[in-house]
Amino acid sequence: MKTKLINIASCNYSKALLLKSRLEADGIESYLANINLIQSDIATGVKLLVKDSDAKQALKRIKEVDDEYETIEPKKPKKIENFSKIICPVDFSEDSLNAAHYALLLAARIKAEVTLVYAYSPFQMLANPFPDAFSYQIGMGNIFKDEKLSAKEGMDKLKIKVNEFIKKQNLPPIKLTTKIINDDAYMAIPEYCKKFKTGLVVMGTKGIGRSKSYHTGSVALHTIENVNIPVLVIPKAYKFKLLQKFNIMYLTDFDDKDFSAFQKLMSIVSVFDTSVHCIHIEREKEKISKVMLDELVDYLRKTYPDFKVDCTLIESSNAAKSINSYVKSNKITLISLSEHKRNFLLNLFSKSVVREILFKVNTPLLVFKA
């Protein structure tokens, strides 16, 4: 059987050298990759590679080294992420109202304020060009005025509906604000969201804004790709009553960034009755996946002892189909993943999986940006 080299750790250069020396002292061959040769002393993301047959023993040794350092240095308290603002893009449709209801229920539990954001561009509404410059200016002035009034009227009506929902659900007081942006929704929503480091976006899959040129969900996908805060997308047909329990599927690829994303996830849902299913989907069975999964289970159960955490390996060439099947059989109420900045081919695969989940798996999707 052909021997494979697998990555078992990504860290700074000095720690990678230390781990390499410890492994080799135990007779485990190891190799370093992704080294910054110009500034090796401050390089991060250095990969430590070992043979797949040595993976289990190597991971055990690395854990022992980490435990040694924990006894030497005082352990830092676990950071609690703050999601104090929820941005909810709307287009006054029933789909965006459904997303707004979800945002309000979530805000009530995590004590966040909610801003309803509507973006419009009068240029999108022009069907025919005006015949001359004078009539063009007059026509444009009327269109700007009509669109502005229409936007304000739509937001006022939506706010009435939202306040009725808050009263009907007997929710605690929620700070609710509105924002109308005279710009193309495709660009305006991500730009607005970039201002908030402690925010969370909650939106529907239906195109946000007045343009009919967008495909369903294109604004949601564009927002996921272009903001640095988590984005929670509520599918068009998703129905819910109350947010009391989260049964979560977290899709992992055993990347170090997953731990940061998982910490943010737990900061959002920790006030709910929560169960988590960590799922790794692979095209073919690999020995290292089981080893990495065992390590992940051990870490999560020690770090989050108050929550039920299960981890499962799924061998499949059709990620969306496998995810949909697991969602139905385990009654999953939220899917979460971390979108990594990777090379072009892997990024295409990531986008296709996100798209498949959005439009073929009728379950809310929470995406973190690594």
Q: For residue 120, give the CATH number of its domain.
A: 3.40.50.620
Amino acid residing at 64: E
Contact indicator for 86, 150 with CB cutoff of 8 Å: no
pLDDT band with cut points at 50, 70 and 90 for residue 287: low
Residue range 75-92, pLDDT digits in tens: 444 455 678 999 999 988
160 or 73, which is more confident?
160
Helix H segments across the chain?
13-25, 55-72, 94-110, 133-168, 185-193, 218-226, 257-269, 287-303, 319-330, 344-360
Phi-psi region of 248 (alpha: psi -120 to 50; beta: other; left: phi over 0): beta
List phi, psi (to 5°) of 348: -60, -40
Alpha-carbon span 33 to 256, nearest angstrom: 16
Q: Do 92 and 175 reside in the same domain of the chain?
A: yes
370 or 347, which is more confident?
370
Domain holding 114, by residue range, is 85-234
Residue range 105-119, pLDDT digits in tens: 999 999 999 999 999
Q: Within a domain: residue 240?
A: no
What pLDDT, on the 0 to 100 scale, is given for residue 66?
72
What pLDDT, on the 0 to 100 scale, is given for residue 331?
92
Q: In 3D, which of 354, 322, 312, 313 has the Cα closest to residue 336?
A: 354
pLDDT band with cut points at 50, 70 and 90 for residue 130: very low
Q: Do 229 and 263 reside in the same domain of the chain?
A: no
Give the residues across from 48 on adjacent strands.
Answer: 9, 32
What pLDDT, on the 0 to 100 scale, is given for residue 352?
67
Q: Do 210 and 272 reside in the same domain of the chain?
A: no
Q: Do 27 and 90 reside in the same domain of the chain?
A: no
What pLDDT, on the 0 to 100 scale, is given for residue 139?
53
Q: Which residue has the tokens 């993943």?
A: 337
**Beta-strand pair 85-89/199-204:** parallel
Q: Within a domain: residue 79?
A: no
What pLDDT, on the 0 to 100 scale, is given for residue 167?
94
pLDDT over 90 for what percent of the chain?
25
Which of these ranges, 52-56, 121-125, 138-142, 357-361, has the smallest mean pLDDT?
138-142
369 or 274, which is more confident?
274
What pLDDT, on the 0 to 100 scale, is given for residue 221?
83
Alpha-carbon span 154 to 93, nearest angstrom: 10
Q: Do 59 and 109 reside in the same domain of the chain?
A: no
**345-353 mean pLDDT:** 53
Query: pTM of the predicted model, to two decimals?
Result: 0.75
**54-67 mean pLDDT:** 79
Residue range 296-346, pLDDT digits in tens: 777 788 888 888 888 888 888 888 888 889 999 999 999 998 876 544 334
The C-alpha angle 115, 116, 121, rounded to 5 degrees, equals: 130
The C-alpha angle 292, 361, 252, rounded to 5 degrees, equals: 15
Alpha-carbon span 184 to 351, nearest angstrom: 23
Q: Do 63 and 91 reside in the same domain of the chain?
A: no
Q: Within a domain: residue 365?
A: no
Question: How many Å is the Cα radius of gyration of the chain?
Answer: 24
Contact indicator for 47, 9 with CB cutoff of 8 Å: yes
Q: Do 194 and 270 reside in the same domain of the chain?
A: no
Q: Do 145 and 251 reside in the same domain of the chain?
A: no
Q: Do 150 and 215 reside in the same domain of the chain?
A: yes
Q: Within a domain: residue 125?
A: yes
Amino acid residing at 270: S
Alpha-carbon span 296 to 315, nearest angstrom: 18
List phi, psi (to 5°) of 367: -115, 130
The residue among 72, 97, 126 that closes a domain is 72
What pLDDT, on the 0 to 100 scale, is given for residue 101?
94
Q: Do 253 and 277 reside in the same domain of the chain?
A: yes
Q: Do 43 and 160 reside in the same domain of the chain?
A: no
Contacts of 76 (CB under 8 A, 6+ apart): none
What six digits make up the tokens of 232? 């929670």
Q: Do 249 and 224 reside in the same domain of the chain?
A: no
Q: Within a domain: residue 369?
A: no
The residue among 27, 43, 72 that closes a domain is 72
Q: Is the pLDDT of residue 158 over 90?
A: yes
Calculate the average pLDDT of the chain: 78
The residue among 72, 96, 120 that closes a domain is 72
Contact indicator for 218, 190 with CB cutoff of 8 Å: no
Total domains, the chain: 3
CATH number for the domain harbouring residue 26:
3.30.70
Residue range 188-246, pLDDT digits in tens: 888 998 888 778 999 998 645 444 444 445 788 888 888 889 999 998 778 877 788 89
